[in-house]
């Protein structure tokens, strides 16, 4: 990774504005999953040890520029205080005289959490005046919010125009692990892509197809690929306007000698419901009133074997409607296969992370990305605005 990090700068006695991703799920004021808060702890602890005066900023939910009490970061300040074992101050706003006053009271090693940056309409518009107001609070900017790095917002990209900008430790790890996997993978290199729609991940599939040895397709998007091969899929989700694209990708894989695996059997039901009666059927025997809701057991075995014989595996997207226990077997099978890989395993965010955690296998993965959309765009080869804004070790920003 060629971006500067907090290890490359002196922060002693300096006010450091740290953009974190504390967009955690809440039930009322109760945090139901604090994974993202925990993920930021190494950066916060490192900055405290180096004598920085730490100003944390994050979004939470989609308040759309309005103050929404239910989306206040105040409960997160309390949880962060527990996790750090030290006092965490909270500012009722993320800019202005009140925030400035609280920042002015910080001593070396102190931590202050600002209120939800999306309470300001200028945040998602990347308003330069709001970015300047954020920058006024600090001497240095640290971006540790990989999950928001694909957004050019005032607190992720705009502020870096006003302050020296470097990566936090979480951002550094995300970029290093994902970057290394794409640039110098141990082979065989396998990518497993699932989820509902091909349209969401065409760019990712195209980019990965040039790099991997094997590409496994599952979930609803597999239906569109199967349709491209001429199979009748009944009531299954098929993106008719993407069938030709899927056909082109299949052909490209053949021409370049890449192994593109599609389901050979499916779990079929006549209704999209958790208690719907189901059966196993080959891809060429889907009835007109049926829909595919999971990969079948033969496909699960094939995919698991392919994964387990790989040295690098990237997985993004479930193999079926895994939220429904009845249709989770395929996703669970590949999750357990990931745990058996003798090599690098990367979970690319979103539902795949939920599946791995639900299976109790998170600790057996090499890396679990904290950024769903960001990891997808990175895997697609796109430049992430929040990363591009950081200073390069070579001197100039990229």
Q: Which domains does the chain have, with CATH numbers?
A: 6-169 (3.40.50.1260), 176-379 (3.40.50.1260)
Say yes or no to pLDDT of 372 above 90.
Answer: no
Tell me the percentage of the chain whose pLDDT exceeds 70: 99
Over range 170-199, report the average pLDDT: 94
Distance between CA atoms of residues 293 and 328, nearest Å: 9
Question: For 341, how many CA atoms within 13 A lie in the half-sphere containing its CB?
Answer: 31
Say yes or no to pLDDT of 103 above 60.
Answer: yes
Residue 64 is encoded by which pair of tokens?
């759309």
- Asked whether the beta carbons of 238 and 224 are under 8 A apart, the reply is yes
Spell out the alpha helix ranges (H) of 162-286. Answer: 169-183, 202-209, 221-228, 243-255
Please, which residues have CB within 8 angstroms of residue 140's CB and are 6 or more apart in sequence? Answer: 9, 11, 14, 15, 16, 17, 52, 163, 164, 165, 166
The tens digit of pLDDT for each residue in 38-58 reads: 999 999 999 999 999 999 999
Query: How many CB atoms lie under 10 A from the CB of residue 123?
Result: 25
Pairing of strands 30-31, 26-27: antiparallel
Say yes or no to pLDDT of 25 above 60.
Answer: yes
- Residue 172 Cα distances to 7, 39, 95, 154, 201, angstroms: 10, 12, 27, 21, 24
Say yes or no to pLDDT of 395 above 70.
Answer: no
Q: Note the pLDDT of residue 159.
A: 98
Over range 94-121, report the average pLDDT: 98
pLDDT band, residue 398 (cuts 50/70/90): very low
- Asked whether the beta carbons of 62 and 55 are under 8 A apart, the reply is no
- Asked whether the beta carbons of 205 and 193 are under 8 A apart, the reply is yes
Q: What is the maximum alpha-carbon separation in the chain?
A: 70
Distance between CA atoms of residues 254 and 259, nearest Å: 8
Say yes or no to pLDDT of 245 above 60.
Answer: yes
258 flagged as catalytic: no
235 flagged as catalytic: no
Query: How many CB atoms lie under 10 A from the CB of residue 251?
Result: 12
Between the two ends of the chain, the Cα-to-Cα distance in Å is 12
Which is the catalytic residue, given 252, 373, 381, 382? 373
The tens digit of pLDDT for each residue in 319-359 reads: 999 999 999 999 999 999 999 999 999 998 678 888 898 88
79 flagged as catalytic: no
The tens digit of pLDDT for each residue in 72-97 reads: 999 999 999 999 999 999 999 999 99
For tokens 């509902």, name the residue: 196
Q: Rounded to two decimals, what is the model's pTM?
A: 0.89
Say yes or no to pLDDT of 396 above 50.
Answer: no
Which is the catalytic residue, given 36, 151, 201, 242? 36
Tell me the percentage of the chain whose pLDDT exceeds 90: 89
SS3 for 354?
Answer: helix
- Asked whether the beta carbons of 201 and 317 are under 8 A apart, the reply is yes
Q: What is the DSSP string of 128-153?
A: HHHHHHHHTT-SEEEE--GGGTTS--
Over range 236-250, report the average pLDDT: 96
Distance between CA atoms of residues 371 and 170, nearest Å: 11
301 flagged as catalytic: no
Q: Note the pLDDT of residue 162.
A: 98
Q: Note the pLDDT of residue 199.
A: 87
Q: Note the pLDDT of residue 397.
A: 39
Which is the catalytic residue, given 125, 136, 161, 197? 197
Which is the catalytic residue, given 168, 218, 234, 350? 350
């Amino acid at each position: 990774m060629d971006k500067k990090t907090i290890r490359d700068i002196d922060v002693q006695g300096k006010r450091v504005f740290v953009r974190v991703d504390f967009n955690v799920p809440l039930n009322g004021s109760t945090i139901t999953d604090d994974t993202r808060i925990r993920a930021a702890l190494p950066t916060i602890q490192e900055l405290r040890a180096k004598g920085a005066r730490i100003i944390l900023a994050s979004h939470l939910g989609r308040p759309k520029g309005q103050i929404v009490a239910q989306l206040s970061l105040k409960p997160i300040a309390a949880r962060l205080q527990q996790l750090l074992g030290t006092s965490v101050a909270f500012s009722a706003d993320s800019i202005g005289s009140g925030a400035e006053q609280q920042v002015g009271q910080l001593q070396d090693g102190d931590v202050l959490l600002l209120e939800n940056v999306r309470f300001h309409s200028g945040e998602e518009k990347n308003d330069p005046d709001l970015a300047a107001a954020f920058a006024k609070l600090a001497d240095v900017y640290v971006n540790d919010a990989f999950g928001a790095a694909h957004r050019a917002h005032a607190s992720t990209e705009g502020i870096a125009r006003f302050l020296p900008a470097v990566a936090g430790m979480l951002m550094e790890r995300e970029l290093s692990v994902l970057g290394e996997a794409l640039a110098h993978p141990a082979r065989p290199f396998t990518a497993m892509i699932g989820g509902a729609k091909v349209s969401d991940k065409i760019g990712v599939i195209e980019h990965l197809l040039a790099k991997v040895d094997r590409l496994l397709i599952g979930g609803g998007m597999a239906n569109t690929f199967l349709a491209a091969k001429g199979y009748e899929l009944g009531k299954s989700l098929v993106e008719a306007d993407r069938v030709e694209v899927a056909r082109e990708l299949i052909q490209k894989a053949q021409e370049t000698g890449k192994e593109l695996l599609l389901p050979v059997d499916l779990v079929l039901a006549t209704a999209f419901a958790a208690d719907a009666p189901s059966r196993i059927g080959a891809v060429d025997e889907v009835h007109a009133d049926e829909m595919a809701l999971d990969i079948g057991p033969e496909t699960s075995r094939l995919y698991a074997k392919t994964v387990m014989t790989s040295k690098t595996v990237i997985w993004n997207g479930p193999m079926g409607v895994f939220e429904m226990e009845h249709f989770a077997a395929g996703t669970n099978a590949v999750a357990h296969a990931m745990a058996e890989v003798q090599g690098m395993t990367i979970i690319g965010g979103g539902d795949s992370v939920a599946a791995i955690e639900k299976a109790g296998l998170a600790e057996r993965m090499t890396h679990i990305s904290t950024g769903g959309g960001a990891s997808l765009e990175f895997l697609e080869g796109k430049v992430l605005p929040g990363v591009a804004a950081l200073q390069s070790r070579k001197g100039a920003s990229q």
